[in-house]
Amino acid sequence: MAKGTGKPRKKIPRALAVVRADNCTGCEACIEVCPVDCIYKVPGEDQPHLQSFVDIDLERCIGCDLCERWCPWDAIDMVPPTQLVAAVADKGGPEPYLEKNGAQLIAVAQTIQDLAIEAQQAKK
Ligand code: SF4
Ligand code: SF4
């Protein structure tokens, strides 16, 4: 899963990066440019049989959108945090990866989305 390096960000960004795994070739251009090192290659050592693609630790993404701009395959969407769960649920990718990680990825998205909606309501 996520590399877990670096510090969590302090504020939820206006948009977070979600990889459309079925469009991703695993070229690693996004990994090179991410300033907080929150993009990680899949398969990891635990799933070496899967096609190559990347995923993103949404708890650490700062929404800078560099990855989206550098991706040659248009495989990254910048998604408002209030719409994160649907985007993550629809991100695609190989079944074995989704079976193993899908629920956890959605749970993380749900936590961020709930916080973003709370913050939005607090401003009203
Ligand atoms: S938006 Fe920025 S911080 Fe987030 S994954 Fe992309 S490059 Fe990294
Ligand atoms: S730059 Fe795009 S195609 Fe390349 S690894 Fe990142 S998301 Fe995948």
CATH number for the domain that contains residue 81:
3.30.70.20
CA quadruple 74, 75, 79, 85: dihedral, nearest 10:
160
Whether the bond between 13 and the residue before it is cis, its omega within 30 degrees of 0, is no
In the numeric block, the tokens 């989206």 are attached to 68
CB contact at 8 A, 63 and 11: no
What pLDDT shows up at residue 2?
Answer: 46
- Displacement of CA 73 from its chain's centroid (Å): 16
Is there a domain that residue 86 lies in?
A: yes
Ligand 1 center–CA 17 separation, angstroms? 6
The helix (run of H) or strand (run of E) holding residue 19 is strand 16-19
Q: 46 lies in which domain range?
A: 16-123
pLDDT band at 5 (very low <50, low <70, confident <90, very high): low
Is there a domain that residue 8 lies in?
A: no
Q: Which residues partner with 40 through β-bridges?
A: 55
Ligand 1 center–CA 110 separation, angstroms? 19
pTM for this model (two decimals): 0.89
